């Protein structure tokens, strides 16, 4: 069942104070906006990205808005192996002891082309980054989420993840998979009051990925990642305790 929550939610200044929240794909687009907003509302952010320079810039920007210095996780999801995932778990556990929030947001677009022409290697890469690595990170970090008294596990999907569209290939299929992963986990933990699991479809948003997919589109007509940040904060924070197992679609601007 899809649930619509308005974008006019106004988070309290200390909404996420004392909460440890890991955000994947935190150096661009929606992930970056949520990382900055979460830190500004008191969270101890752990920011994941693959670009060391962008992670360093995000660190400085979070500190500049008065947030706690974030933990930084440089990890290329295309090539990461077991020891690197294990290192991430150990880093979070040693420094924080738990997770109160995990936002699985990192993804890549791949090709927009008919399936009969889709490059097999590129297909495998997109499925791995968008779906397999999301499963692996979630699987590895669930024990730390279960150490929290009030944890939120959140996935970012796409409209093409529940309504297939021609030429969207591996990206669409990977988002169908993310929605399936979310549904399975939400069902498995539906009786656990300390862990709520939800999924967001942000819809058309002014990001670099969107520009790649729709180069002729008038970007000024779209909502921005900053517009979406309150919705993400709501689902990561205590105000959404009663929202469980829901696919939330952001309103059109």
CATH number at residue 154: 3.40.50.720
Question: Is 35:45 a contact under the CB 8 Å cutoff?
Answer: yes
**Mean pLDDT of the residues in the chain:** 93
- Answer yes or no: is pLDDT of 13 > 60: yes
- Answer yes or no: is pLDDT of 4 > 70: no
pLDDT at site 102: 98
Q: Left (φ > 0), alpha (ψ -120 to 50) or beta: where does 74 sit?
A: beta
pLDDT at site 253: 59
CB-side neighbour CA atoms (13 Å) of 117: 7
For residues 128 and 102, what is the distance between their CA atoms, to the nearest angstrom?
Answer: 19
- pLDDT (tens digit, 9 = 90+) per residue, 128-173? 999 999 999 999 999 999 999 999 999 999 998 998 999 999 999 9
pLDDT at site 85: 92
Q: Which residues are catalytic?
A: 171
Identify the bridge partners of residue 155 per DSSP, sorted by sequence position: 104, 199
Q: What is the pTM of this model?
A: 0.94
- Residue range 6-21: average pLDDT? 89
Identify the bridge partners of residue 20 per DSSP, sorted by sequence position: 44
Total number of domains constituting the chain: 1
pLDDT band at residue 66 under the 50/70/90 scheme? very high
- Answer yes or no: is pLDDT of 6 > 60: no
Domain of residue 143, residue span: 2-249
- pLDDT (tens digit, 9 = 90+) per residue, 32-49? 999 999 999 999 999 999
- pLDDT (tens digit, 9 = 90+) per residue, 187-233? 999 999 999 999 999 987 787 777 777 787 777 878 898 999 999 99
Identify the bridge partners of residue 153 per DSSP, sorted by sequence position: 102, 197
Determine phi and psi for 119, rounding to 5 degrees. Answer: -65, 130
The CB density around residue 146, as the number of other CB atoms within 10 Å, is 14
Question: In the structure encoding, which two tokens stand for residue 24, read together?
Answer: 């994947």
User: How far out from the chain centre does Cα 164 lie?
Assistant: 21
Question: Is 111:118 a contact under the CB 8 Å cutoff?
Answer: yes
- Answer yes or no: is pLDDT of 2 > 70: no
pLDDT at site 218: 75
Of 26, 135, 127, 140, which Cα lies nearest the Cα of 83? 140
Of 102, 180, 206, which Cα lies nearest the Cα of 148? 102
């Amino acid at each position: 069942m899809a649930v619509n929550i308005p974008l006019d939610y106004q988070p309290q200044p200390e909404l996420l104070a004392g909460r440890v929240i890991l955000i994947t794909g935190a150096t661009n687009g929606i992930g970056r906006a949520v990382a900055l907003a979460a830190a500004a509302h008191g969270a101890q952010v752990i920011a994941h990205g693959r670009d060391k320079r962008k992670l360093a810039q995000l660190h400085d920007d979070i500190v500049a808005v008065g947030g706690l210095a974030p933990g930084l996780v440089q990890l290329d999801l295309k090539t990461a192996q077991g020891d690197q995932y294990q290192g991430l778990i150990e880093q979070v556990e040693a420094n924080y002891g738990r997770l109160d929030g995990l936002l699985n947001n990192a993804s890549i677009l791949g090709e927009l082309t008919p399936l009969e022409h889709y490059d097999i290697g590129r297909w495998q890469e997109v499925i791995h980054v968008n779906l397999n690595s999301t499963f692996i990170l979630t699987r590895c970090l669930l024990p730390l989420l279960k150490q929290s008294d009030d944890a939120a596990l959140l996935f970012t999907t796409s409209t093409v993840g529940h309504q297939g569209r021609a030429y969207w290939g591996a990206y669409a299929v990977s988002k169908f998979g993310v929605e399936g992963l979310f549904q399975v986990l939400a069902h498995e933990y539906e009786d656990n009051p300390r862990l709520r699991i939800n999924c967001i479809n942000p819809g058309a948003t002014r990001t670099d990925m969107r520009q790649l997919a729709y180069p002729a589109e008038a970007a000024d007509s779209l909502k921005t990642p900053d517009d979406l940040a309150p919705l993400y904060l709501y689902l990561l924070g205590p105000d959404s305790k009663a929202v469980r197992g829901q696919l939330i679609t952001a309103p059109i601007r």
